[in-house]
Amino acid sequence: MEKETKSFKCMACRAFDSKWIQILGDCPAVDECLKKKKGCCWNLLNFYNCFARGLSQIAFANNPITGTLVLLALFAASPTVGVGGLVGASVSVLTAMAFGIQKPLITSGLTTYNGALVGIITTSLLPLLYSKPVTLYVWMFIIFGASLSVIINSCIDNLFSSSQKNVLPPLTLTFNAIQLLMFVCLMSSNASEQEHGATVQDISTKTQETYPIPTSNSSATALFSHQNSAKHIFAFPKKLPPYRKRTYTLGVSGHSAADWSRSGVGFAIGVVLSVGQVHGLNDLWASVIIMLGIFIYSPIHLVTGIIGAGLGSTCGILLANEDFDDVYNGLWGYNGFLASVAISSIFFLPSIRSFIVAGANVVTAALVQKAFQLGFKQLNLPYLTVPYVLTTLIFLQAKVKDGSPIRIKNISYPEKHLYEHYVGMRKDSSPHKDQEMSCDACRSTSNAGKSQTILTPE
């Protein structure tokens, strides 16, 4: 009986020691393999490892397999957007290496995701917002913005880390600042073209020759709140019911059973599209591919994100004034996805209290998003991920007297956070300490001492 109990207690230890787990989560198998290899080809693989992890870090994942699936989703949705992500991420990695940024930051993709977002969002939104094709002039902006993101992100990280008590992550603050500045500059250049004789109709005609844009009245795509001034650039499944062309008011009588079914399908697809909108994509199948990549990284990560996207979309229904196009296109869910994941599975130990704080963060981000919709619309600018960044930086200061929710010191994936917390609890509560540890993994973690634990209550 005692032997069976010890075997059950160390089931998690054996799982984390297995070869299969080495390619999941943070995928340590790839890093360990590349450390031992030298040569030109291996250097290219090491570069791709940093590049792919940067793409996955857009959704708080740190796995090259996830990043590869994200890249595949980008090209599946739009080759131009795929090239934008490829250029932005590559320039960021090269800039970080040139400036001597710490190697662990480069390897984990923390210096790359802002530049990748600059390339993705510029190529996806520029034709929609300002009817401008992605020319060589725009690519120069993308290269400069991706390089600048590495420097600014390092500065913000140093600024937020100056307080040893309450260290804050930079999140996508750098991306938002650079992207908005880029759009302001490109918008000004567009106005200059019009002053020199180029009409809006001429520019729109040229844009449609390069980017086939449907002419039906549909809401804007990735990260854009306007509903009538932009059209879809990404393909949408043609066999879906026409729920997106109608307005449904939940809780109001007078709708048929088919109407209720279509509105429910629209809501569900909007939640799935929220995952793609995190990466600037309004494509259902691309969103499914990205969800698969996030599942490979962490099932808990994906589940908490989907719950956040669903809660954010629900807030969108309550705040959208019966116009649910943005809900059905995932525009009310992507900030909720990021806000939920950041609090409930990345920066805090997954627990009931962290889930409650994450829910409050999602709702607050939705309210901020509604306010930003009204303000940014007047400026003809997208609000991007500004709502989630502002609210998450506030809710990361959440704490109560008993130290819960528990803040993570060294970020990894949620399953590992729970595992190491379990091992730490066993070590602290055991009267015999090391003697009670039933496997080498538990004893090594116990001998490391409290100073090296990844969990530190604030």
Judged against a pLDDT cut of 90, whether residue 292 lies above it is answered with yes
Share of the chain above pLDDT 90, in %: 41
For the question of whether the overall pTM of this predicted structure is more than 0.85, the answer is no
| pLDDT tens readout for residues 106-127 | 988 899 999 999 999 999 998 8
CB 406 within 8 A of CB 455: yes
Q: What is the pLDDT of residue 224?
A: 39
Q: What is the rounded CA–CA span in Å between residue 220 and residue 327? A: 11
CB 128 within 8 A of CB 224: yes
Q: Which of 260, 233, 118, 221 is nearest to 178 (CA)?
A: 118
Which position has the higher pLDDT, 379 or 321? 379
Q: Strand, helix or coil at 327?
A: helix
For domain 221-407, give the fold.
Answer: Ammonium transporter fold (1.10.3430)
For domain 19-213, give the fold.
Answer: Ammonium transporter fold (1.10.3430)
Q: What is the DSSP letter of 348?
A: B
Residues of the chain with CATH 1.10.3430.10: 19-213, 221-407
**Segment among 10-24, 82-96, 173-187, 348-362 with least mean pLDDT:** 10-24
Q: Strand, helix or coil at 408?
A: strand
| pLDDT tens readout for residues 124-154 | 998 888 888 888 999 999 999 999 999 999 9
Which position has the higher pLDDT, 287 or 3? 287
| Count of beta carbons in the 10 Å neighbourhood of residue 133 | 16
